[in-house]
A and B are shown apart, each in its own frame.
Chain A
Amino acid sequence: MNERIINELIESFGKLLMAGLKVSLPLTIASFSAGLIIAFLVALAQIAKVPVLRHLVRVYVWIIRCTPMIVQLFIVYFGLPSIGIKFNSFVSAWLVMSLSVGAYCSETVRAAIQSVPVGQLEACYCDGLTFWQGMMHVIVPQALRTAFPPLSNSIIGLVKDTSLAYSVALVEILATAQRIAARTYDYFWLYLEAGLIYLIICSVLTVIQSRAEAALERRR
């Protein structure tokens, strides 16, 4: 490792980090938020045993879980344009990753909702609350507390999965590293640096997770 490489790594570090903060992290947050909403609705459809919907969501979970994410990305980004539906890289990745989070987290959310005794919802009804009010004020806050550790796991997994969006021309951390290395042929060092950036982001998230868990624990 000579001085040239050291200088190159220092210079590229900022670029990779910015790619992480400007592309990978926003993609993670946008996908995870949308995915959680999907997961919640899927969980409700299963809990409430909504006749047709319940089977539809099972098919959805089945398809998403049993096909590789990179294939899904290719279908959306390279496949859909041939039938006239065109999304840019970021939107394609966001769609696929939201659907993925929705499918994987629906079981977590369902179990967490069902861990809150159903009697509390009945008590909400007696208090004059509607189903949705009871969910928002009583059931979901408690379910989220239960679901927090597994959901944190999912969000950290998602940060790493965003690297797959490289394959649909999204210039995120890995693609940025690849572009720099293509000029200098220092693939080994650049990819190591890309790995380091993921390590840093996920470590920060891990610290936030344990602090948040401790804070939640104090409030009960």
Chain B
Amino acid sequence: MLELKNVHKQFGDNVVLKDVSLKVEKGDVVAILGPSGSGKTTLLRCAGYLNRADSGRLVIGDKEFDLKKIAGKDLLDYRSRVGFVFQSFNLYGNKTALGNVTLGLTVAQKMKKDEAEEIGRKLLERVGLSDRVDYYPSKLSGGQQQRVAIARALATNPEVVFFDEPTSALDPELTGEVLNVIKSLADDGVTMIVVTHEMEFARKVATRVVFMENGEIVEENNSKDFFEHPQKERTKEFIYKSSTWASDTQIDGSGI
């Protein structure tokens, strides 16, 4: 139901994505793992049309979009099908929690204010923030802000939600509440692609795991097999180094 086809992106001579293709089924939660600079965030930003790809297409449901250029009515249609959650929340500082969720509905989708607010209240309740509806972002904790951002991404009832390292900017204590919300969405069957460094999350919540390095997908599997039976040497090394903080690991990172 969602397919990325041959997404290519380079900044100058630096090729960041080398014709990456990825297929995602409805209800899948795909975790994209990989070291810094592997291109995983760029892939997500190209798929979310925040960066223009040099070439590549995105199929969502019955529609296909050119990631090099989406314009006019297609763009609004595309935006309503895709939700995006940022690492740094990016809540609108001049809007309340409710205002953050409803802005896109009222301004872009031209929905009536009370209809939008009804949707907004329901979504804020869904992320456990019905008592913070009228709070401005500056009065919310990081975890609460990110949950508002998730509610905002869900406003148009999108077919897929992209998460760009949703817990990386949070205190360790606050990551749990955000991951729990994402997990509850997964239980409800929301299709998600999550760029993350949370190995536990990838292991327990993700249905599929994609491992990227140097702008390419190195390995891709269902999450159980990915962690239990990694195929490629590089993947094994990554899982080992990320999952353990073994006392027998050398400082240079060489094994056992």
Residues of A within 8 A of B (CB): 116-117, 119-120, 122-129, 133, 137-138, 141-142, 145, 219-220
Contacts of B152 in A (CB 8 A): 123, 127
**What's the Cα separation between A124 and B90 when bound, in Å?**
9
Contact: B88 with A137, CB < 8 Å? Answer: no
Residues of B within 8 A of A123 (CB): 84, 86, 90-92, 149, 152
Using C-beta atoms within 8 Å of the partner chain, give the interface range for chain B.
20 to 34
A141 touches B94 (CB 8 A): yes
Complex A-B, nearest 6 residue pairs according to Cβ-Cβ distance, in ascending order: A127-B104, A128-B108, A119-B90, A128-B79, A123-B90, A126-B84
Cβ contacts under 8 Å, B84 to chain A: 123, 126
Indicate if the CB atoms of B103 and A129 lie closer than 8 Å: yes
Whether A138 touches B92, Cβ cut-off 8 Å, given contacts A127-B108, A129-B104, is: yes
A124 to B75, CA, bound (A): 13
Taken together as a complex, chains A and B put the C-alpha atoms of A143 and B245 apart, in Å, by 45
Residue among A116, A128, A141 with the highest chain B CB neighbour number at 10 A: A128
Q: Contact flags (1/0) for B48-77 with A, using CB distance below 8 Å?
A: 111000000000000000000000000110
B175 at the A interface (CB under 8 A)? no
Are A220 and B136 in contact, CB atoms less than 8 angstroms apart?
yes
A-B contact pairs, 18 of them (CB 8 A): A116-B93, A119-B86, A120-B91, A123-B84, A123-B86, A123-B152, A124-B103, A125-B50, A125-B79, A126-B83, A128-B76, A128-B104, A129-B104, A137-B103, A137-B107, A142-B94, A145-B94, A220-B94
Q: Is B126 an interface residue (CB 8 A)?
A: no
Q: Are B92 and A120 in contact (CB under 8 A)?
A: yes
Cross-chain contact A128 with B80 (CB below 8 angstroms):
yes
Residues of the B chain whose Cβ atoms lie less than 8 Å from the Cβ of A145: 94
Q: Is the CB of B88 within 8 A of A129?
A: no
Pairwise interchain contact B95-A129, C-beta atoms closer than 8 A? no
Contacts of A137 in B (CB 8 A): 92, 103, 107
Q: Is the CB of A138 within 8 A of B88?
A: no
Interface status of B207 (Cβ within 8 A of chain A): no
Q: Are B104 and A142 in contact (CB under 8 A)?
A: no
Q: A125-B50, A126-B83, A126-B84 are in contact. Are A117 and B90 (CB under 8 A)?
A: yes
Check A126 against B94 for contact (C-beta < 8 Å): no
- Are A133 and B107 touching (Cβ within 8 A)? yes
From A138, which residue of chain B is reached at the shortest CB distance? B92
Most central of B49, B79, B109 by chain A CB within 10 Å: B79
CB distance from A124 to the nearest CB of B (A): 8
A123 to B151, CA, bound (A): 13
* B95 and A138 contact, CB distance less than 8 A: yes
**In the complex, how many angstroms separate the beta carbon of A141 from the nearest chain B beta carbon?**
5
Interchain CB contact under 8 A, B94 and A138: yes
In the bound complex, CA of A120 to CA of B80 (Å)? 18
Contacts of B92 in A (CB 8 A): 120, 123-124, 137-138
Q: Which residues of A contact B149 (CB under 8 A)?
A: 123
Contact for A120 among B75, B93, B153, CB less than 8 A: B93
Asked if A128 and B156 sit within 8 Å, CB to CB, the answer is yes
Q: Does B138 contact A (CB under 8 A)?
A: yes
CA distance in complex: A186, B136 (Å): 58
Distance of A143 from chain B, by nearest CB (Å): 10
CA distance A145 to B91 in the complex (A): 17
